Amino acid sequence: MLLTALFLAIAPRTIIFIIFVLVIFFGAKRIPELFRGLGQGVKEFKDASKEERPEYRDQQQPQQPHYGNQQPTQPPYRDQPAPPTNQNPTQPRY
């Protein structure tokens, strides 16, 4: 899907230019070999990432400790109001 979006974002003239440069640098006979090797590399990468995913998921899920039927604690309630400040609101603060 990302590859499709990438090709839709590139103008056709740019794609033709890239193909032209590849043919000049590598020759028409060598290009299929390059893309075959690239495809095999992508396939191996996908296979390796599929093998690693279950192990990675097991490591990422931390086990939470069980505390039984403990009730959540509430913060202490303040009966007294906050102490007044000695600042006069009409005086600028420096």
pLDDT bucket at 36, cuts 50 / 70 / 90: very high
- Is 40's pLDDT higher than 90? yes
Query: Could you report the per-residue pLDDT of 45-89, keeping only the tens digit for each?
Result: 888 887 766 655 656 655 666 566 666 666 666 666 666 666 666
pTM above 0.85, yes or no: no
Is the Cβ–Cβ distance between 46 and 54 less than 8 Å? Answer: no
CA dist list (Å): 77 to 57, 72, 74, 81: 42, 15, 8, 11
pLDDT value for 70: 63
pLDDT value for 5: 65
pLDDT value for 12: 82
Kind plus residue range of the DSSP H or E element containing 68: none
What percent of the chain lies above the pLDDT cut of 70? 46
pLDDT bucket at 41, cuts 50 / 70 / 90: very high
